[in-house]
Structure 1
Amino acid sequence: MSDGSLTEANRPVSLQTEEELDDFVAEHSVALVEFYTEGCGICQSMEPVLGTVARETDAAVATINPRDDPPLVDRFEVQSVPLFVLVVDGEPVARRAEGFIPAADLLDWIADR
């Protein structure tokens, strides 16, 4: 019987800096990164969705607040949050910034990589 603990592979990882983000995407062949800000209601509503995505896909999932590291805003052209960036082999290959996205839609989007 499971002890209820989760490993990094099946829950989103909270990143703090551009260096942590670079290390994270370097360690995973496929990564989904959510750029968010504090106080963003839609971003908060995405938390359980990202948990589901982390459990149901082989992609690593992370979140980062670009306001804490302004070069990220320019590097990833963050104009609104939440912004989802799909990174494959260290390179951003797709992005979505249309607000709340259901888990099934994110899973299909990742699978279509």
Structure 2
Amino acid sequence: MAATHDRPVSLSNRDDLDELVADHDRVLVEFHTEGCGKCKAMEPVLSAVARTTDAVVATMNPRDDPVLVDEYDVRSVPKLMLFVDGELVATREGEVPSVDEVQAFVSGEN
């Protein structure tokens, strides 16, 4: 299924996350926090990835649904999580990768 969004989708809770992952074949989720400089630097990277890959790209502050912090073992942000066919298949955290690096991560070439 081709991505239906050409920019990141903002999620507000676990139900939003579960629904998005269930509805799309490939989903890239970035966990971020308010005031995080690295997270802010990810915005143009994620926008470019949303426009150039088949993945649906989403962002979420896990503090909005604190259970997610433990469930996804969030130790630092930004944290990227790749879901394929509803399953979490890869994570990457605490750095600001380039557009090319995130595209490779999404396509499984990491």
Same fold by TM-score, threshold 0.5 exceeded? Answer: yes
| Separation in 2, partners of 1:24, 1:95 | 17
Q: Which residue of 1 aligns with 2:58?
A: 62
Query: What whole-Å deviation, never above 9, does each CA across 1:45-65 have from its counterpart, x for those lacking one?
Result: 100110000000000000000
1:34 matched to 2:30: yes
Q: CA deviation at 1:8?
A: 5.0
Q: Which residue of 2 aligns with 1:99?
A: 95
Query: What whole-Å deviation, never above 9, does each CA across 1:77-103 have from its counterpart, x for those lacking one?
Result: 111000000000111000001411111
Q: Which residue of 2 aligns with 1:10?
A: 6
1:76 matched to 2:72: yes
Once superposed, what is the RMSD of the aligned Cα atoms? 1.3
Q: Which residue of 1 aligns with 2:39?
A: 43
Q: Which is greater in Rg? A: 1
Q: Secondary structure at the match of 2:59?
A: strand
| Separation in 2, partners of 1:50, 1:102 | 10
Tell me which amino acid in the other structure corresponds to 2:38.
I
Q: Secondary structure at the match of 1:44?
A: helix
Q: Which residue of 2 aligns with 1:4?
A: none
Task: In structure 2, list runs of 5 or more residues that go unmatched.
Answer: none
| Structure 1 residue ranges (4+ consecutive) displaced by more than 2 angstroms after TM superposition | none
